[in-house]
Amino acid sequence: MLPLSAAQTRTQAIRFISMMERVDQLFRKHSRLQWLVPAVLCLLMALQMGFSVRQMSQHADESTHLYAGMRALACGDYAYGREHPPLAKMVAAAGAGLANEQSACQVGIAGEEEADQAIYWMYTRADWWPILLRARAAVSIFVLGLCAAVWWVTRKLFGPMAAALATALVAFEPNLLAHGPLVLNDVAITLFLLLTIFTFYQWVDSPTPLRLIAAGLCLGLALLSKHSGGVLVVMLPLLAVLEVWLTPAPRGRRVLRNLSGVAGMVVLAALVIWAGYGLRYSQGHRRDSDAIQRQKLDRMKSPDVLVIQGLKAVHLLPQAYLDGLVEVHGLVNTTAEGGAILGVHKQNAPWYFFPLVLVVKLTLGTMLFFAIGLYGLRHLGRKRMRAVLFFLLPVLLYLAASLLIQRISGVRHLLPILPLLIVVTAAGHCAWHGGSAGWPSCWDWHLWRMWAVPWPAIPITSPTPTKPRVGRATSTAYCRILIPGKAIGR
């Protein structure tokens, strides 16, 4: 693409703004036509994923998630892959038509790694590729739901123009397009974390039983998507307290009301978790590591371990959920694989690791969009700054939690903060240029041109195969895919 002259750029910007003003007038006259914006953008997002998913290599965790989801649906066995809650896995297995696969209920070889069992089951089947495609199509509902949710949330809070900007950025965000159709749970937690924060904000703004139920259901689905959703249990009380300082109402009574709402959400979320595990405490299958886990847990006296032991003692949550929570947070196995960061091997992630991941993985246009949008937030009114607080504070808390864990991992673990930043910065752009109903100025036009350029990202891992051309004999070798983030900045 050849650079345009200043006069040509100005002419294009004037035409763009004129076209947007005519569209704005049409939408104001016929408000229902506004919903064409998310319909078209989410359709474009689906088409992009549909054309690319057949060329995407298998992620190392897809076979494990799909196998675990199949065992949960067909056998009621939640022990396999309990490091992750079953929501996304069961959606994938159901979409792939594996809900009644009774052959999966046979117990695996004693001592065999779960990942090896899943790989053997997956890649020794003649129809493994169609099964994987159907599973990917099923889990794509989460990323398309995220596209629609970003429009709905932003429109409710900041108006239709901010919603259009935010939805467009989501529909063409490379990281969401790459991870959206994979049989993983990162996009599911991204969707439900956004909905939980928004529904809680709505309840705080106007507390009604229906809104409290909606917020509790969203919290439960977030906790049922990924264990990192547990950070919401910390976020929500902080938001409930800090929100009071931005309102003129009596603070003491309002704090108690907000905290009681959080308690009600937690109770509803627990019911959702029980429903996700089939209303049964037992995980359905004993793992060889269970005895070792119990011995190590008995020797550990940290507060989080004591809380989990108390929950297990009274059977307050399903066994598989609590055991998975122990394992995923490294309460038993604390060893780290390490990796090369900027050419230097690190055992644990340094403080700058996750900011570096975002700089590497986000396009230059997206980072500029965030920076300018955050600057434009100073033009928002006090009432809307409450909404900004509800979305920016979770971003900071999520990043802080990621830094405390000190695990070297890929950008997919940071996906939950992207829609939060997109919603807020889109509002900042619109506030800077004449309010939530205004259209972008010439400065935004320059930014959109820059964002549309396919900026090359620094390679994170070694190249992997892009097309499925593997038979049974080499399927195991084909699955040895490097995990993103192990050699960042190389």
Residue 64 pLDDT exceeds 70: yes
Lowest average pLDDT, out of 159-163, 224-228, 335-339, 353-357, goes to 335-339
With 0-12 CB in 10 A as exposed, 13-18 as middle and 19+ as buried, what is 366? buried
Q: Are 140 and 163 spatial neighbours (Cβ–Cβ below 8 Å)? A: no
Mark whether 303 and 440 lie in a shared domain. no
Residue 22 lies in a domain: no
Mark whether 187 and 265 lie in a shared domain. yes
Mark whether 179 and 319 lie in a shared domain. no
Residue 70 lies in a domain: yes
Mark whether 45 and 176 lie in a shared domain. yes
The predicted-structure confidence for 129-155, as pLDDT tens digits, reads as follows 999 999 999 999 999 999 999 999 999
- CA 490 to CA 432: how far, in whole Å? 38
Residue 420 lies in a domain: yes
The predicted-structure confidence for 217-249, as pLDDT tens digits, reads as follows 999 999 999 998 999 999 999 999 988 877 766
DSSP type of residue 458: P
Residue 20 lies in a domain: no
Mark whether 42 and 149 lie in a shared domain. yes
pLDDT for residue 450: 47
- CA 409 to CA 1: how far, in whole Å? 35
Mark whether 253 and 362 lie in a shared domain. yes
Mark whether 221 and 319 lie in a shared domain. no
Mark whether 217 and 358 lie in a shared domain. yes
Residue 85 pLDDT level (bands cut at 50, 70, 90)? very high
For 174, the 3-state DSSP assignment is helix
For the chain, state the CA radius of gyration: 23
**Neighbouring C-beta atoms of residue 234, cutoff 10 Å:** 13
What H or E segment, with its residue span, contains residue 391? helix 382-405
Domain containing residue 312: 290-324
Residue 373 pLDDT exceeds 50: yes
Residue 78 lies in a domain: yes
Q: What is the pTM of this model?
A: 0.84
When comparing pLDDT for 302 and 266, which is higher?
266
Mark whether 97 and 149 lie in a shared domain. yes
pLDDT for residue 50: 92
- CA 369 to CA 426: how far, in whole Å? 8
Mark whether 133 and 192 lie in a shared domain. yes
What H or E segment, with its residue span, contains residue 73? helix 62-75
Percent of the chain with pLDDT over 70: 75
Residue 485 lies in a domain: no
Mark whether 309 and 422 lie in a shared domain. no
Residue 25 lies in a domain: no
Residue 462 pLDDT exceeds 60: no
For 487, the 3-state DSSP assignment is strand
Report the chain's mean pLDDT, rounded to a whole number. 79
Q: Per the structure, how many domains does the chain have?
A: 2
Mark whether 271 and 300 lie in a shared domain. no
Residue 95 lies in a domain: yes
